[in-house]
Amino acid sequence: MEDTFIATPFKPSAPRFNGPRPGGAGRPASGNAGGRRPVRDDDGLRINEEITASRVRLVGDNIEEQGIYPIAQAMKMADELGLDLVEISAKADPPVCKIIDYQKYLYQQKKKAKEMKSNSAKIVIKEIRFGPNTDEHDFQFKLKHAMEFLQEGSKVKASVFFKGRSILYSDQGEKLLLRFAVELEEYGRAEQMPKLEGKRMIMMIAPVKKK
């Protein structure tokens, strides 16, 4: 036998709301279901009359006695508070719902997403190219540039291009890239070992996060 909690009559903690509902036409708090238009956003949550379950489990700080309620009573409780009944876990048995201001919830979610997008730094990749027989002067010149790129937060893509038969000396290019990574270990870390792609050997170096 299922252990079902039937709550005591609900005592509203806020004044009765008779104004327009968020996302739809207004209706009095008496429970006339024809006056409220269901609202659904990209998150796919069911709201108000979209909820099809006959019973729901109510949770949240604004619920005096959390537990399982008939859908009609849960809807009435939302009306009493001038808020929306939102299904947050449809797969539970019965579905879990909260009584919240749905339009405010959407605003907060969009604001949060916008802040995360603005705070996420765009990854910039700078490429340093070598030949298999790069001399010491050229190596040091490119090493200095790589240090600057890593310090400014960019990734460095170091590559060695092999022309014609020079591909036979790919091990020389590998040694050059490994030395390059060792020289830069204070500024960045190699994300992979040197990798041969066609006529190019590549190694990606990511900047070290500042403490």
108-126 pLDDT, tens digit each: 888 888 887 776 657 789 9
The confidence score (pLDDT) of residue 32 equals 37
Q: What is the mean pLDDT of residues 25-54?
A: 59
Q: What is the mean pLDDT of residues 85-113?
A: 89
Mean per-residue pLDDT over the chain, rounded: 79
pLDDT tens track for 2-30: 454 444 444 444 444 444 444 443 433 33
For 98, which DSSP code? E
pLDDT bucket at 92, cuts 50 / 70 / 90: confident
The answer to whether the bond into 70 is cis (omega within 30° of 0) is: no
Are 139 and 183 in contact by the 8 Å Cβ rule? The answer is no
State if pTM tops 0.85. Answer: no
pLDDT tens track for 76-86: 988 988 899 88
Q: Reading across the β-sheet that carries 96-100, which strands appear in turn?
A: 46-47, 84-89, 96-100, 55-59, 67-70
Looking at residue 52, its amino acid is T
**Spatial CB neighbours of 211, under 8 Å, sequence gap ≥ 6:** none
pLDDT bucket at 146, cuts 50 / 70 / 90: very high
Question: At residue 211, does pLDDT exceed 70?
Answer: no
Q: Say what angle helices 170-183 and 136-151 make with each other, to 10 degrees.
A: 50
The Cα diameter of the chain in Å comes to 87
